Structure 1
């Protein structure tokens, strides 16, 4: 197997994140990543951080409960590193503490203006970054890294780094893969082996049950709920179909489903918490989301449409799917309407 490694730039708020940073670094190293980053920042270190970001394959932001050290302009060094990484279009993933206010007071900003900056920066990351994951404990963080970093490699493939002495192994592996592709073409009579072609097609009014999580708020407190929900395939396609009329990044499957669940989840929450007055942070189970995507592909409602300039996979509604959206066949099952902008 080819020994390929990836360079990851880690950005944190400062020394108060040392335990989390150590867990993150050790986990990444164990998975074959090289980790970079600066724990102590000064005006002179900014240029060095930018060179590291230029050379890295991925950027990881680790956010606890502090805005962190600030530059002379008043913008935090972590914030500046985020802005620079965005301008360089670096694939980015964020791990943030689920409840910053619950952390020890010594780990939080003492000044009100810094606390406000932290909240604004946290909201900014939640709105702008596609891959944002929350953790509660160091163990949660380790599991989140182990689960989500391999998906980053699939969603945002990069060249990475290969040991020079392994270049011959690279050529050998390419030749082996080419031989396998040729064999599959001959055996299956098609250009690629697609394991999802074995999925049976579903009818529009057939039900699909899935799990999702959300925060439900009642009497000034919140509780995380796991909810089983059931929708027909017509309802699911009415939620997702119009989003992909034009080629759209794959991340919008989860964005649109989570928007729908946030807007409709209060009814589900009140089955367990009758006085619940609001819900937030709804997140569909990732395996269920994958099944939905592949089933709609199998039904010829959506299709892959290449990659964009950031190497994100694009999906688009097919002509068959568009006709379904334009017809009145979904009308009785429509559950939510979205704005078409994104």
Structure 2
């Protein structure tokens, strides 16, 4: 058995959560996790927090009864760390107090606008994060961590960190897992039932509706918008097709779509904020992204093409998809050509 360790980034509202944070950190250390995070935030610390999120294996949001200190944009640092972790698709788990209003008044926000932001953020976490657990006492928190973190390792396996002297054992385990994976994929290929086959095929001119979020800036103010958008399948193929001409990791579905939405989202933002001058951090709804991927697979435009050296699933444009991409069928639906390429 390999002696693995995992990096966990802990995001809280601030110093009032220090007792809970201490219990959380101590419990994690005993379970083989290294915990990171910042209690005191400033504009200069934001970049450091992002680097920690980039390097971590899991993200924990620990929410008590305060929204926390706000950045110059009016969005709390904890809220910004959450948004950044989502854009990086980090496995996330939330531990929140069951009844924030029952906590001591000194631990609650004193300003009405902060109380409102706290409630909105709490509701957002409950709606968007799959793994949300509540606690009332320190003991409850400790037990919730001990019970649920091992399940996170099973549901969202990551590479973690292994002592250097154990690298040969790690390579042996990787080889063993590769063999098991090949066997499972072979068995899966023999099965007649595939969930995506129940999808009807779509025409190029048909619309697909989806939701995405963005940050919009107007008159020096910042606001997170939730946008409802429609695009034709011809447009979607035009955006994603060039990315998957060669075998490319699955994560580039979201990367390419979010780049496109960042480049074109200003017009969408101006429907709600007419004087908006910039947008950033566009993020397509993860379920919508999955639907796009499965529909393109069903239409035989893309196909799975194995895994890379990091065991990431690879996708590639099919000859049919390549022919459509090179034909004039997309001319009436040409989309913005993105600046970056894989």
| Pair in the same fold by TM > 0.5 | yes
Note the C-alpha offset of 1:338: 2.3
Aligned residues: 264
Asked if the contact 2:13/2:39 (under 8 Å) is kept, the reply is: no
Q: Residue 193 and residue 94 in structure 1: after superposition, are their counterparts in 2 closer, same or farther (change >3 A)?
A: farther
* Residue matched to 1:249: 249
Q: Residue 15 and residue 230 in structure 1: after superposition, are their counterparts in 2 closer, same or farther (change >3 A)?
A: closer
Asked if the contact 1:209/1:228 (under 8 Å) is kept, the reply is: yes
Give the whole-Å Cα distance in 2 for the aligned partners of 1:337 and 1:229. Answer: 19
| Aligned positions of 1:76-155 closer than 5 A | 91=57, 100-101=71-72, 102=74, 130-131=88-89, 139=122, 146-147=130-131
Asked if the contact 1:63/1:95 (under 8 Å) is kept, the reply is: no
Note the C-alpha offset of 1:131: 2.1
Unaligned 5+ segments in structure 1 are: 1-5, 40-60, 70-74, 109-118, 160-180
Is 1:291 the counterpart of 2:291? The answer is: yes
Is 1:264 the counterpart of 2:251? The answer is: no
Unaligned 5+ segments in structure 2 are: 63-67, 95-116, 133-148, 161-183
Q: Residue 190 and residue 250 in structure 1: after superposition, are their counterparts in 2 closer, same or farther (change >3 A)?
A: same
* Residue matched to 1:65: 41
Q: Which moved more, 1:298-307 or 1:189-198?
A: 189-198
Give the whole-Å Cα distance in 1 for the aligned partners of 2:260 and 2:53. Answer: 29
Is 1:36 the counterpart of 2:12? The answer is: no
* Residue matched to 1:238: 238
What is the alpha-carbon root mean square deviation over aligned residues? 5.1
Is 1:214 the counterpart of 2:190? The answer is: no
SS at match of 2:254: helix
Give the whole-Å Cα distance in 1 for the aligned partners of 2:243 and 2:297. Answer: 15
SS at match of 1:9: strand
Deviations 1:123-169 (A, max 9, x none): xx969x8425999858456776545998996675669xxxxxxxxxx
Give the whole-Å Cα distance in 1 for the aligned partners of 2:302 and 2:323. Answer: 12
Q: Which moved more, 1:304-313 or 1:206-215?
A: 304-313
Deviations 1:153-197 (A, max 9, x none): 6675669xxxxxxxxxxxxxxxxxxxxx9xxx8xx9943632111
Asked if the contact 2:216/2:224 (under 8 Å) is kept, the reply is: yes
* Residue matched to 2:8: 10
* Residue matched to 1:338: 338
* Residue matched to 2:313: 313
Note the C-alpha offset of 1:323: 1.0
Deviations 1:249-269 (A, max 9, x none): 111111111111111111111
Give the whole-Å Cα distance in 2 for the aligned partners of 1:17 and 1:215. Answer: 27
Q: Residue 35 and residue 157 in structure 1: after superposition, are their counterparts in 2 closer, same or farther (change >3 A)?
A: closer
Note the C-alpha offset of 1:310: 2.2
